[in-house]
Structure 1
Amino acid sequence: MKLLNYTTSYLAGILLAVILVWAAIFYFNMLDEIYDSMDDGLGNQKILVIQKAARDSTVFARRDFEDGYYRLKEISFAQAQHRKDVYQDTLMYMLNEQDYEPIRMLTTVFRHQNRFYELRVITSMVEEDDLIEDLLFALLWLYLGLIASILVLNNILLKRIWQPFYKLLQRLQEFRLEEPSQLVAEPTEVTEFQLLNSTIEKLLQKNIETYTSQKVFIENAAHELQTPLAISLNKLELLAEGQNLQEDQLTQIGAVMQNLERLTRLNKSLLLLSKIENKQFGPVEEVNINEAVQKVVSDFADQATYRNLTIQVQETAICRQQLNPDLALILIINLVKNAIMHNVPGGSVNISIDKNSFVIQNSGKAEPLNDHKLFNRFYKNTDSPGSTGLGLAIAKAIADLYQFRITYEYQQLHQIAVYFN
């Protein structure tokens, strides 16, 4: 949900609650005012009737409300001595409505020529159910009008006010650390947006400097390590070719050379992994995964034969994907090499390709691997001296770079699948 709509939803809820509370208070205050007004009118009518009775004795003959708004009834002194004015709501049958309608009635007592009379004066009143219905409709239209006004305000005024924020978000989405460019902030007079722009600009600049420094360090370290490693290997090879070395000395030199070769492979793998994670590879293009797999299988044919392994490739469709060709080959090489290295003599490697996936199965230990650690760096399930523990980590980094999904499962065969979509 967008920020403006999120704010509007809360505002609409609060506004509804406020209007409901205000409506209840307004309703009871309005009823109180209406009753006060009617009671004042009834009091005035009472005085007029009493004054009229003092002048005209025919008033005392009014016994019901059939042709007027009041009626008189003579009562005893005992009935009259403790009586006070009483205002009450009641119902009366109205001929025009053909139904009982609410009225307001004043019951009072007055004295005339030592005789006591009960006077009842009535007036029509507002029907509360009609009043509530009209008030609810009025409030509903008011609420809808306010919400519509708020939406218009949000989409015209507030959206313009928040424009620098949205521009900043757009530029952050387009920003790439591996291809840094200057982040030009939208001019704004809002202090908070100015602070946000300056803070993000400083943060990005610091990240760019750190990234560049790390990139240069990794490249220099890898390059500087490669040279002494190559020199050391060459010198050891020359030393091993000498004529005066004993067998145990040659064995030790061979062990040292193996470690140096492993260190060389490890250095290259770490550099490759760093470049992948830092997105230092070139632009993407369409890669035919079927052709890449056939090339890699052909390259590993001798190694598979040496280990007495059979490699089968099943193609159900042509798989074309957008990625860097070098990384595509590295991904396939690492998975095929992993399936060969961690296999058993006389085992098999089965590769299947369809339009949106690449699946490789291999025989091996008759137990599942730890799928939570399998793609971690330096995780090795075997003690193979040729393994650096980075092959599957590199494959996972390539998959993550292009948002592919890579999974592992075990069902009599070890299976690693790459889903491109």
Structure 2
Amino acid sequence: MPHQLAVTIRAALPAARVAEVSELLAEAGRKGVAGELFPFAEVTGVHFARLLVVPEGPPGADGAPVPASVVYMSEVDAPLQSHLTDLVRKAGEGLEKVFGHCDGYPTGSASVAARTAWLRAHRIPSAAFYVNTVGRGRQQILREARLREAIEEFLDQQGAALSGAPPSRIRAAVQEHVRGRPDLAWARSRPAPPALWWRIRQKAHLVALPVVALFLLPLLLFALPVWAVLLRLHELRDAPGRDRPDRRHLRELAACEDFGAQNPFTAVGSVKPGRFRRATLTAVLLVVDYGVRHFFNRGDLTGVKTIHFARWLFIDDKRRVLFASNYDGSLESYMDDFIDKVAWGLNAVFSNGLGYPRTRWLVLGGAKDELAFKNYLRCHQLPTHVWYSAYDDLTTATIDTNARIRAGLFADLGPAATRAWLALL
């Protein structure tokens, strides 16, 4: 079973082509033909994928503004090279329509290898990447959904015959039915774990960061009070933003939302100027990445259970941050979930962004100003016109239930556990 990767490919767009590419993506979304240009369903291992235009950024050290860019983002099953190769082969026409305007993209009769190499060269690593359940691949999710459907169809058909039967007999009938289905033979075994080499690397990372922190402990104990004083001085000088999302922007965002059980969220914002904020945000995202890699990787992000994937990325020499997620339900409920359950975490990350509601000691205040926080998110949110989900009718809760149905189907269960298993159906 593969582990999951966050793939982000970004390339600058010539100013003269920004409107054209933006309109192409918007048209694909409006007409529902994104799947024709970008047949992600045919690309092996894709869970979610999106294409969008990131607007130009603030000037860099040379005084020149950062140009607008086109960005491809996906959450996929490893390995990376197989994904990129399959992506070029299956969605090459669509990729050429958007990346073909970018400097150096191999167009025309260029080879698959040349295009794949270009995509790899423009890949941006994530500063932190959250996976709802590590190791649960796309094939497993889709198979387990079909298994549940097959079992429920069988129970519907056999309802009269099994009515009043004890739970053990009903489960035995289900087992017999599944055994008789060659297409469900895989359900008799447990999912394989991710590759051994990857698990070894994860264990090494789990140990390495605390060891380094322990080695640096004397320096950290000295630096922490200094950092706290500097933090408070910065917070007192910070000016919270007063911007409100305009109606046109809200309509454009709404046109990309609420077409299924899930939604995409993409936002970009500038980091507050100065080395202090940049270093603070780097350290915070290092801790976030450590936490989501090793502790919050079984369907629960500190109380928020509706997120399939999320990532944070630095762009433009760490002057801006790009955030993207795939979540269940509406944006309003998504924001409320975070405010109610993990406002401190939002503050620790986003308070380093320009215009964020005023915070105290990094984690207090901020998102607790609900209206200001929601205005901040909406102002920085980008329209995600082209977005794909491999299982857009499945919530995280449904996916987890399907996995539990498979796990319990042939497991050794007692009477109480058997009743609980049947209650999942």
Is TM (by shorter chain) over 0.5? Answer: no
Higher Cα radius of gyration: 1
Question: Which protein has greater RCO, CA pairs closer than 8 Å, 6+ apart?
Answer: 2
Shorter chain as denominator, the TM-score bin is: under 0.3
